[in-house]
Amino acid sequence: MRVFVGSILILISLVILRYFQLAGADVFWIVVMGCGVGLFVVGSRWVLYGVKFFSGYRDMWPVLCAAMAVAWLIHAVQLESYASSSPLGAFFGAVNVIITVALLRLTNIPVTVSGDVLSFGPPSMIGGVEVTPLCGGFLSFLMFIAAFSFVTVDVGRSLGVPRLAFLLLVGSGVTFAATILRVYVVILVGFRWGLDALYVAHTYLGYALFLSVACGFWYAALAWNKQLSSRPTTQHSAA
């Protein structure tokens, strides 16, 4: 019963987050979103600790909660506007366009590019899309850095600086790759099935990909940390 209720709480929290993103960041929505984060915290704990299949992911509960809280804060302080206008956000967007176009052409999707606008001819079901800096992955990168910083407090002492630097590079790269994959898949959906399908994919695919990537990466990172921590240390006596 607790697992079922937890799943419902997670779903409600994601719905609240989506409506919060579509609305203005006024006092009402900030309070409601705080409640949404709380529902996610409780729901994810009940699910992770109530389902045997997720037993290996229980250490990731603080990471998921941190990511949810950061997603709320990003909109509450209007980081979307900053991301879309900052040089770093523009850089992420430009790189995303270049790689996305390369993937489209590699998979035989005819596309022409003018700035950040990608145009398609027949048999495409859409005329074109604009890949803005907001789609470029800067916000996902910020969310990953926040979650990484949170986890570092817990596992940083045992991993050490070189391994933490390696995880930071790998995690940043994987997060950015997931963002590119999202843009590519959203365009592919629109190309095949039209504008309505594109809007649905654009709205929900980001959550699914980010959570999947976060779970996979942090599961591997925490498992690696446990493996390193469990190794016996060899002490050498002086001659």
Respond yes or no on whether the N-terminal peptide bond of residue 110 is cis (omega within 30° of 0).
Answer: no
Answer whether residue 239 is part of any domain: no
Residues 147 and 219 reside in one and the same domain: yes
Assess whether pLDDT exceeds 70 at residue 151.
no
Residues 93 and 66 reside in one and the same domain: no
Answer whether residue 237 is part of any domain: no
112 backbone dihedrals φ, ψ, rounded to 5° = -120, 150
Residues 20 and 117 reside in one and the same domain: no
Residues 68 and 148 reside in one and the same domain: no
What pTM does this model have?
A: 0.72
Domain boundary among 23, 48, 77: 77
| pLDDT class of 156 with cuts at 50, 70, 90 | low
Answer whether residue 216 is part of any domain: yes
Answer whether residue 65 is part of any domain: yes
**Mean model confidence pLDDT for the chain:** 79
Domain boundary among 34, 51, 77: 77
Residues 24 and 55 reside in one and the same domain: yes
Residues 21 and 124 reside in one and the same domain: no
Task: Choose between 46 and 227: higher pLDDT.
Answer: 46
pLDDT for the residue 125: 92
Assess whether pLDDT exceeds 80 at residue 199.
yes
Residues in the chain: 239
Quote the percentage of the chain above a pLDDT of 70.
77
| pLDDT class of 236 with cuts at 50, 70, 90 | very low
Q: Give the number of domains in the chain.
A: 2
Task: Mention every residue, 6+ apart, whose C-beta is less than 8 A from residue 76.
Answer: 25, 30, 33
Residues 47 and 156 reside in one and the same domain: no
Residues 68 and 51 reside in one and the same domain: yes
Domain assignment of residue 84, given as a range: 79-227
pLDDT for the residue 106: 94
Assess whether pLDDT exceeds 60 at residue 176.
yes
Answer whether residue 233 is part of any domain: no
* DSSP H stretches of helix in the chain: 2-22, 27-50, 61-76, 79-85, 87-106, 138-159, 161-193, 195-230
Q: Is 75 helix (H, G, I), strand (E, B) or coil?
A: helix
pLDDT for the residue 231: 67
